[in-house]
Structure 1
Amino acid sequence: MTWTSQTFGGEARTDAAIRTALPTASRSENLRLTLLYFLPNYLKGVFRARPRVGRLVARLDPGRHGAETMRRLRRRHGRGPVVVRGTSGPTLLVLDAEDARQVLSGPVEVYAVDTWEKVSGFAAVQPEALVASHGRQRTARRAFNDAVLDAGLPVHRLAGHFLRVVGEESRALLGPEAEAGLTAGQIRERVERVGRRCFLGEAAADDEEFSRLLGELLAEANWMGARRWRAARTRRLRRRMMQRQARYLCDADPRSLTGLFRTAPRGPETAPEGQVAHWFMALGVVHAAVVQTLSLLATHPRHHARAVREVREADRRHGAHTVAGFEAMDYVRACVQDAVRLWPPVPSLMRRTTAETRWRTAVAPGGVNVLVPAAFHARDEERIDYAHRFAPQKWLDGTAGEDWAVSPFSRGEARCSGTELGILLATGFVAEFLRGGELAVAGVRLDPGRPLPHGFDATRLRIGYRPCPAPEER
């Protein structure tokens, strides 16, 4: 039996009928998947990390157990996808790399990104955000985001200024206190300051209140609208944040993203001011990429030595904090990309189908959730031989880049518009730590001689930095 639109018309769709079309997880499998995958990821925070809860969850090693559960499902049910009970109903869990490519390369009109989780979560922060949009609204907002963020281009048109900003903010961390160890929180504060300067302009550099308000809204978004009694407070927070943001939009800094609004395509459904919060939310990905890359380089001497040589050569030939210098840092960029492959900041890519979709011999109806577990596919040891090791060379030779199942920034039409910009900011940050200093790390165990852990707990992380003595001091 296959799924058809007649079989599943509107509310007539039932779980029992779904089970006749594709393999379905048993009750015990669903329970295990919920306890070891869905629940831990929810508790850690979908929109904003919950450090204390994350520390407790990390002890349970949910990444490893979740991956084991998915491998068991694949062995028992085949390539799938497998129907499981997701957070908002029946969900197709994509366990095969080719199926992952089908979803990610498919049109967003069919594999829509505005799932219940995103719409309900972003309602508290930015209901007009691109990722919570569909149809004409999404088309208009995507065009605007792509234009402002220079999506798909190797470097942003303002890259020179942005790299100088990153250099200044990262150097501010490398004082005497860095030798004792920098926390992930200290690095996050500087990354947020980079975001305020690059996105809103120099006038916003010290506006920590804007970042605080956004942080509170993202923390509320974790509840996905469940705490309705806090709706009035959430509206007040958002109004205050938008008022602060409006200051920088009215007199936009030409060296910031807001300074590019005037020339970007827009229409009645674009909501330019409604796109900014999501860019700041994406700074969480930049922050994760920075701390993960630095931790890996600090514990992998061979990769560290190569990255240092590349930064020094790029600086010698092109100068520090230059676009040409950044373009010459292929290996450092690959290190950043592999760090987020190993521990994707967004471990699950959610979609909802708006029309029938075919999965080999089965046809699934529209209106079904689809989950691509990006973290699982990026560490699928049964498919890729570099699953659990630091392998930046796989990005240099195209192996990882051509593998659609390895998708830390998503792929296809739903690929993040700011992918290139995010990599630029993270690479610039990492490069500053490699200029004339030694790295050390504490609080995480990353042994190059053993498989890397599935989880990365930054709550106890300390990244130490000690300037190398000048030649005459040696």
Structure 2
Amino acid sequence: MSRTSETFGSGTDAGSDALPEGALPTATRSENLRLTLGYFLPNYLRGVFRPRPRAARLVARIDPNRRGMELMRSLRGRHGRGPVVVRGTSGPTLLVLDAEDARQVLAGPVEVYAVDTWEKVSGFAAVQPEALVASHGRQRTARRAFNDAVLDAGCPVHRLAGHFLRVVGEEARALLGPRAESGLSAGDVRARLERAGRRCFLGEAAAEDTEFSRLLEELLTEANWMGARRWRRARTRRIRRKMTQRQARYLCDADPRSLTGLFRTAPRGPETAPEGQVAHWFMALGVVQAAVTQTLALLATHPAHYRRALEEVAAADRRHGAHTVAGFEALPYLRACVQDAARLWPPVPSLMRRTTAETRWRGAVAPGGMNVLVPAAFHARDAERVDYAHRFAPEKWLDGTASQDWAVSPFSRGEAQCSGMELGLLLATGFVAEFLRGGELAVAGVRLGPARPLPYTFDATRLRIGYRAQRTPGAS
């Protein structure tokens, strides 16, 4: 991967005016320093693959997303709307600040805008070296076909949706006892979703296998270091071996109501590595958990949205029954709430690519081997372009405004869009719906509401989700 070139250097304080005609603008040293210290470094310290709890609390106070977005607006104002070359962790990086350029990257072929960047390959080596997101070429084609088939990519309702909705309903309901009145943490939600994931992905036999989840969490924690702690590689290999051995128990005698039960009918070849794809699905549960907690917090602090979601769930249950496929299909507004929660605070705030060939950006040409960064969080909250940038706006997903805007991409777009996007939305929507059945929702520890612009950073470290069952007539 190219790290230096005459055109893509570290920049000078003279700014883009000194660049030859047709060259891409380059950030100055001071701009690079501010971007690194104010945005890239805090988010790295927070944890790329698994949040570090103490660091996450500190980073939330710094609010790097606000600082980063302010700097990106400043860069666009100074250098123009085209990509700006900044100094990334693995060399010169094209920072994409225009919505049309973002579409060029996301709609482009993965053979040119490849997803297997240094950061992903280094990080996933600890957890899942054969994962789809760390693959390219023939391997990626084979693994993508397998993932698409098992996860029913592109289908709003997975073929096992009926069972999965019952599972997430049961797991969410298990949280809603008297203890919920004093408040549930984001960790409580995560633990229940992990249990739901084990049941849906590996089968009912894995429901109580918390050791599998613990081993995966250790690997994700190590992945945050992106291979820098070389002295821990032997230990990491042992942990991964233990995890895959536990996983193999469920693959050998696959539950037909689980994703592993669909392996036999999915396309596969010598490059597929089916068992190497499973860990990433569990990692993606972190995305589901974030979407669930963010949606609950938004609904609890936005009364009009809350009432509409309550009415929709009640109507769907009356007509089709709770935890049914037809009932889920009758919840478009609640699903849009989940989507907009992910827009406001994207699970992956920066989408990374690497170019394998020359790429053209208006009148400029960038050589192959460049990193490309599409800041999804910036584009989703770009108030100069998006009139609903800082408010809770699920209606924008219903009328097509958000879904047709390629720069609004909480789950990526195009050939690199997450194969499990629809399944993740189904699990998150089903989980949230259970909180809206027969209870009152409240939150503490966050400052959200329709009367003020929503913050750039969602701090889940202090969040408490309160739930009280509605009292029946005659109850004391």
TM range (shorter): over 0.9
After superposition, the C-alpha distances for 1:103-153 in whole angstroms (9 at most, x for unaligned) are 000000000000000000000000000000000000000000000000000
Residue of structure 2 in register with 1:24 after alignment: 26
Deviation of residue 470 (structure 1)? 2.0
The within-5 A match list for 1:323-334 is 323-334=325-336
1:184 is aligned, of 183, 186, 199, to 186
Q: For the Cα contact (< 8 Å) 2:4–2:92, is it kept in 1? A: no
Residue of structure 1 in register with 2:75 after alignment: 73
Deviation of residue 473 (structure 1)? 4.3
- What SS class does the counterpart of residue 350 from structure 1 fall into? strand
Which letter maps to 1:18?
F
Report which stretch shifted further, 16-25 or 350-359. 16-25
After superposition, the C-alpha distances for 1:53-112 in whole angstroms (9 at most, x for unaligned) are 010011111111110000000000001200000111100000000000000000000000
Deviation of residue 41 (structure 1)? 1.0
Return 5+ residue gaps in structure 1 as ranges: 1-9
1:431 is aligned, of 433, 447, 461, to 433
Residue of structure 1 in register with 2:408 after alignment: 406
Q: Give TM-score, length-normalised by structure 1.
A: 0.97
**Aligned residues, how many?**
464
Residue of structure 1 in register with 2:236 after alignment: 234
- What SS class does the counterpart of residue 438 from structure 1 fall into? strand
Residue of structure 2 in register with 1:259 after alignment: 261
- What SS class does the counterpart of residue 67 from structure 2 fall into? helix
The within-5 A match list for 1:83-232 is 83-232=85-234
Which letter maps to 2:123?
G
| RMSD over equivalenced CA pairs, Å | 1.0
Deviation of residue 449 (structure 1)? 0.2
2: CA distance between counterparts of 1:87 and 1:447?
Answer: 36
1: CA distance between counterparts of 2:7 and 2:427?
Answer: 48
2:270 is aligned, of 262, 268, 271, to 268
Residue of structure 2 in register with 1:48 after alignment: 50
Residue of structure 2 in register with 1:418 after alignment: 420
Which letter maps to 2:292?
V
Residue of structure 2 in register with 1:363 after alignment: 365
2: CA distance between counterparts of 1:329 and 1:52?
Answer: 37
Deviation of residue 40 (structure 1)? 1.1
Deviation of residue 16 (structure 1)? 2.7
- What SS class does the counterpart of residue 125 from structure 1 fall into? coil
Which letter maps to 2:435?
F
1: CA distance between counterparts of 2:309 and 2:454?
Answer: 20
1: CA distance between counterparts of 2:192 and 2:419?
Answer: 23
Which letter maps to 1:81?
P
Residue of structure 2 in register with 1:354 after alignment: 356
Q: Does 1:293 align with 2:295?
A: yes
- What SS class does the counterpart of residue 464 from structure 1 fall into? strand
Return 5+ residue gaps in structure 2 as ranges: 10-18
After superposition, the C-alpha distances for 1:7-32 in whole angstroms (9 at most, x for unaligned) are xxx86x73432255200000000000
Using the aligned pairs only, state the percent identity: 84
Residue of structure 2 in register with 1:14 after alignment: 4
Deviation of residue 51 (structure 1)? 1.2
- What SS class does the counterpart of residue 125 from structure 2 fall into? helix
- What SS class does the counterpart of residue 160 from structure 1 fall into? helix
